[in-house]
Structure 1
Amino acid sequence: MGTAERREAPEESVTGRPAKPWGTKTLDRDIPAARRGDEHDGGEPRMSRTLWVEQPARRHPLPDPVRTAAVRAVLVIAVTLIQAMVAFLCTMAGTWLAFPMVISSVASTVVATWAVVDVWVTRQVWNQRYGVVSEPSSTARALRRERRARRRLERRALREQERIRRRGGTGQLSHS
């Protein structure tokens, strides 16, 4: 067995599938059957355990646009840190590359700041648009309520028109 074993969570996994119960056999395809404990070789069969169990997420995952912005920001920040380190080492070594690296590090710092602000703005826009705020007076809830009421009225008007059409036009005030 590996060292990456974890305790089993009784809830469902992050993917929505129920987590495997403790003690469920997991076949290791690269280990011969005799070593896995699948066959009785005179001794007691070994109970194989899963190497890991998916733990349910404590918080909801980030929405896709926010996650995309966050990944982009992390990549830009990583490149910026590498550039800053190279600029520092070039400066200490006294090479001609030091000045261009310092200039590119400054520009990269501006871009990294923009990327972090982009994550924040994207998150705020997503929250505002899709109404994550769970207050009863949430603007998003009021907008959804109004939309539902409008749709109800439209469906009611369509049903009324369909009913009039099925009657053959009776009930119309004018015949044109």
Structure 2
Amino acid sequence: MGTAELSKAPGDDRVTRTAVRRSTEAPDRDIPARGRVAAEEGGAARAQSSYRPLWVEETARRRRLPDPVRTAAVRAVLIIAVTLLQAMVAFLCTMAGSWLAFPMVISSVVSTVVATWGAVDVWVTRQVWNQRNGVVSTPSSTARALRRERRRLRRQEKAAVRTQERIRRQGGAGQLSHP
């Protein structure tokens, strides 16, 4: 993959176009990559720059959480963050001897109860989702073999029925004897 760069030499009105090759082998932007070729253009040697990508796409190791579970998890994280903030403010107000210390301690206790509810809500939502939508399971090799055998038998039965139907439609043509 490459791009084109426009460059202008100082004191020269001419604009030159240089092709740039991008390589993923460069360990860093300020360290030259292996295989970099110098391009001769207008008598001046220009080194082609090579950059590594900012990130590399990787496949997800785990499946994405279902929407209801993810919503409950985000809600719980926000509640827990507010609770920690309130607890910190309550502590600092207590250390400073502020009149706000008592209301903040009370609100921190209430927020702790709500944060616990939020964490339990994530767990319950996940369990309910798994119960309603089922859990993806991998069948054992024996179950797979049994299913394969049943499928083969069904295909044979369907083929036999189709053959009989074709014979009936032809009115017995091609048979040596009629039953």
Q: Aligned partner of 1:49: which letter?
A: R
User: What corresponds to 1:72 in structure 2?
Assistant: 75
Residue 34 to residue 123, structure 1, CA distance change in 2 (3 Å): farther
More strand by share: 2
Report SS of the residue matched to 2:48.
Answer: coil
Select 1:90's aligned residue among 88, 93, 114: 93
Report SS of the residue matched to 2:84.
Answer: helix
In structure 1, the gaps of 5 or more residues are 1-23, 137-176
| Residues 1-176 of structure 1 mapped to structure 2, 5 A cutoff | 24-25=1-2, 33-34=6-7, 38=19, 40=39, 41=41, 42-134=45-137
Structure of higher CA gyration radius: 2
Between the aligned partners of 1:70 and 1:126, the Cα distance in structure 2 is: 13
Between the aligned partners of 1:88 and 1:75, the Cα distance in structure 2 is: 20
Q: Aligned partner of 1:77: which letter?
A: I
Between the aligned partners of 1:117 and 1:55, the Cα distance in structure 2 is: 32
Between the aligned partners of 1:134 and 1:43, the Cα distance in structure 2 is: 58
Q: Given that residues 26 and 48 in structure 1 are in contact (C-alpha distance below 8 angstroms), is that contact kept between their aligned partners in structure 2?
A: no
Structure 1 residue 53, shift from structure 2 partner: 1.2
Structure 1 residue 134, shift from structure 2 partner: 1.5
Query: Normalising to structure 2: TM-score of the pair?
Result: 0.54
Structure 1 residue 55, shift from structure 2 partner: 1.5
In structure 2, the gaps of 5 or more residues are 9-17, 21-38, 140-179
Between the aligned partners of 2:59 and 2:126, the Cα distance in structure 1 is: 23
Structure 1 residue 80, shift from structure 2 partner: 0.2
Percent identity between the two aligned chains: 70
Q: Given that residues 90 and 98 in structure 1 are in contact (C-alpha distance below 8 angstroms), is that contact kept between their aligned partners in structure 2?
A: yes
Higher relative contact order (CA 8 A, sep 6+): 1
Between the aligned partners of 2:51 and 2:6, the Cα distance in structure 1 is: 12
Moved over 2 A (4+): 24-27, 32-35, 37-44, 46-49
In the alignment of these two chains, the number of paired residues is: 110
